[in-house]
Amino acid sequence: MVLKRQLNGSPKNQVLVMLFPQSKIARPYNKSRHSLPRKSLEYRDYVISIVDGKAVLKAVESVRHMDTSRSVPIRPPLTFFKDINDSFFADSLFDRTQAYDDQVISQVRNIAVNSGILDLENSRQVAAFKAFCPAGLLFYPNASADKMVSALSFINLLWFVDDILDDKYFLTTGEAVSLVSCVANTFIFQARPSNPCTNWPKIESYALAVRGRLLMHMSAEWVARFGQSYRNYAFASLKETNMNRQRKKINVDQYQDLRMLTSAVYPCQELLAMIYGFDMPDTPLAKRARHLNNRIISFSNDIFSFEKEFNSNSMNLVKLIMHHYKTTLDQTLEYCVELLNKDIAELLSIEKKVRGTSDFSEDCLIGLKFMIQGNAIFSRNSKRYCRPSSPFIDLREQYLKISQRLS
């Protein structure tokens, strides 16, 4: 297998480089917490502790000037931004006015408050709302304010439900199913269900409000199909959660297939038809373009969230490859970046093939590209991923930039 041969080669550097003191990330293996063997719970190449972000770059610089008498030279800290296709990871893509952002976010906030799912006295809820709003604004640039409110209201619902599932880990499978079914059925059925979601009245109220927003722009049939797309995502996510709880094994190929459903990218793609006013095509090339869009967003997110998911039960492509093929982090990262660049190149080749033809709407392709760019910009400008303890110098540098902007 090419992947195995490529990743199982002898590491160029067998020396464990300690950039900082022993980290919590590399703490002794605890079988009750982790499903992976101890060996896979170390970065292997670099061990980085949680330190003051402003001191990180100075510490990194000092490592570069350490003892040069070592027989094996010290490699620079891991990086990945510079290795990924620039056309999808640029920082400045969209020009929006502050007035536009304020108008959209204010309307979305009012819908959430009136439905009861957002309590303005709950600082945690308000912080989460503020943190995720920029994502929708970046996913769908050039949208009218009215359509952006509708799209962002759904994305807010998506994250709110995910937070309940994550925070209330004690939910039974039946309770979790009833929660996601409440949302899906609200979209799928054209009339309000005869048996309301008695367990989730606020969720149902907000889902009905979002459904009403979507019906302002699209037909009831479209909203029902959209609900089915959400349902496919939600139940795949529950499947993954149960697999994590039961410590079920999954190989790299199986994970990549499952990730296409658990990423929520497909429902967000459906919103492109509403935003830009076209019928989502069903041709083989269009399906392939959507699949590539999902892979690029999902697997780049797995890189961004690697540190966050490293010591959890969450599935992650980087972590899974390291464990399955017994590779170092930088070997794994090299493969993941190669995978992303290959998918990006194929998506760009599809764009050339369909340009000037009627195979599918040019607006659809542009929308798919904007989603990739917006996701990357959101991720690299969010403290959710940019931390001073990240193993990636890119994200540590971004942490400093974000901190300076906020100070």
**pLDDT number for residue 192:** 58
Residue 258 near residue 250, CB atoms below 8 Å: yes
Q: List the alpha helices (DSSP H) in 168-282.
A: 173-188, 201-215, 220-245, 252-262, 265-276
pTM (predicted TM-score): 0.80
Residue 365 near residue 283, CB atoms below 8 Å: no
Domain 79-406, CATH class in plain words: mainly alpha
**pLDDT number for residue 264:** 95
Q: Which residues contact 146 (CB under 8 A, 6 or more apart)?
A: 216, 217
pLDDT tens, N- to C-terminus, the chain (407 residues): 334 334 444 333 322 222 222 332 233 223 333 333 333 334 443 333 333 434 444 444 444 444 444 443 344 456 777 777 766 665 555 667 888 999 999 999 999 999 999 999 999 889 888 888 888 888 998 899 999 999 999 999 998 898 888 765 567 888 889 999 999 999 998 655 555 567 889 999 999 999 999 999 999 999 999 999 999 999 999 999 888 888 888 899 999 999 999 999 999 999 999 998 888 888 888 999 999 999 999 999 999 999 888 877 789 999 999 888 888 888 888 899 999 999 999 999 998 888 877 667 788 888 999 899 888 888 888 888 888 888 888 888 888 888 887 66
CA distance to 160, 187, 236, 313, per residue, from 177 (Å): 15, 16, 11, 20
Q: How many residues does the chain have?
A: 407
Task: Give me the residue spans of the domains in the chain.
Answer: 79-406
**pLDDT number for residue 257:** 96
**pLDDT number for residue 56:** 42
Q: Cα–Cα distance between 350 and 334 in angstroms, integer?
A: 25
Q: Cα–Cα distance between 72 and 59 in angstroms, integer?
A: 20
**pLDDT number for residue 301:** 94
Q: List the alpha helices (DSSP H) in 32-144.
A: 53-64, 98-115, 123-139
Residue 329 near residue 41, CB atoms below 8 Å: no
Q: Cα–Cα distance between 304 and 152 in angstroms, integer?
A: 22
Chain CA centroid to CA 177, Å: 22
